[in-house]
Amino acid sequence: MSDAAVLVIDDDADMRDLVRLVVEPTNVDVVEAATCVEGIAACRAYRDRICLVLLDYFMPGMVPACCARQLCTLTGSAAIVLCTAGVNPAARAAEVGLSRWLAKPFELDALETLVRDAVRRHTPPLASQPATQEILECPRGSG
C-alpha cells in the first residue's frame, strides 16, 4: 500500500465497505470510523497518511459542523469532502464550512477521481507540527 490513506467517517457500514472496495485496489489504505468521535481519533492517529476524508452529513452524536471543524484542525493538506444524500449537497457542505461535496448516490468514477487527486496532492505534515490533542467542545446532535 502507499503512504496515503482515505478516512471514511460514516455510520453506514455498507458505505464504508463500498469506499474500501473502490479505494483499496488503487493501493491506498482505507481507515474507517462509524462516528465523528472515532473519525477524529483516527484522523489524529493517521494524520501523516490521510490525504482524503469522506464525511457523512447525518451522523449520530455530533453536529456535522463541529466534526468538520475539528477535522480541519487536524488534517493539514488533506481534502475533506462532505458526503450526503440530503437535498442541495452544496448548501449542506457550505453549512458545515466545507467547499467540497459528493452527492449520494455517487458514481464510482467520481470517488476514484477524488482519491487519485488527493493522493497526487498529498504532502504529509512536518514532524514539527504536532497534532492537537484536545477535542473541541461541540454540541451533540444528529445533524
pLDDT tens digits, one per residue of 1-40: 578 999 999 999 999 999 999 999 999 999 999 999 999 9
Give the pLDDT of residue 141.
45
pTM of the model: 0.84
Which residues make beta-bridge pairs with 5? 29, 50
- C-alpha span between 39 and 61 (Å, rounded): 12
Cell of 40: 477524529
Cell of 41: 481519533
Residue 48's CB is within 10 A of a number of other CB atoms, namely 17
From the list 68, 105, 67, the residue with the least C-alpha distance to 84 is 105
Mean pLDDT of 104-116: 93
pLDDT tens digits, one per residue of 45-54: 999 999 999 9
